[in-house]
Homo-oligomer: A and B are copies of this chain.
Amino acid sequence: MSRGNTHQRIQDVALELFVAQGYDKTSLREIAERLGVTKAALYYHFKTKEDILLSIFDAANRPVTELIEWGREQPRTLETKKEILRRYSDVLHRAQPLFRFMQENQATIRDLSLGDQMKKRMLGLSDLLVEPDAALVDRVRAATSLFTMHAGTFALRGLEDDPEERREAVLTVAHEMITAAHHGE
């Protein structure tokens, strides 16, 4: 029953606590206690606290990477762009906790090497949505279509609706933005 799943469990509990309290305010003691293991056990599985976080990221980042790769092979039509946003919406919703964590702990992430990784990923996505030499307004539109989806997933929880409905609304707005950006070109 202890078949290498401790590794997993650490990641799960860690993410849970990181999301609930922030990375800095979550101590390894806490993680260990929740798991019913010693702090030292964590260090058997991960070299550092940062390492735990990185490993979680790696797992959750794969879908985004795949999405970017997929996008690169598509024709750069409006329909493609919409599909990308659709898929990104999916990814976001599937790994909600992680993305919420990223949104709320930017300061921490910045100095954790993750900063660059994330920036690159975002730029990679952006590049699929507008030509780099597009008009400034259009580039803002494209970026905004992405941000809308992030914001819509985490920050708009005030609009206490059926989450699925909200998700669709957000996607609609994002599509509008990308459509405008596309025609601007």
DSSP majority for the A interface?
Answer: helix
- Let me know if A123 and B158 touch, CB within 8 A: yes
Q: Does A58 contact B (CB under 8 A)?
A: no
**A143 — which chain B residues lie within 8 A by C-beta?**
151-152, 155-156, 159
**A22 — which chain B residues lie within 8 A by C-beta?**
24, 107-108, 110-111
Interface string of A126-156 (1 = CB under 8 A from B): 0000000000110111011001100110011
Cα separation A21 to B106 with both chains bound (whole Å): 11
Q: A144-B173, A152-B140, A165-B136 are in contact. Are A158 and B119 (CB under 8 A)?
A: yes
Q: Does A105 contact B (CB under 8 A)?
A: yes
Q: How far is the CB of A111 from chain B (nearest CB, A)?
A: 8
Q: A24-B25, A144-B151, A144-B173 are in contact. Are A136 and B107 (CB under 8 A)?
A: no
Additional 15 contacts, C-beta under 8 A, given A137-B173, A147-B155: A22-B24, A22-B111, A24-B108, A103-B106, A106-B106, A119-B158, A123-B158, A136-B159, A137-B172, A140-B156, A140-B170, A143-B151, A147-B147, A147-B151, A176-B180
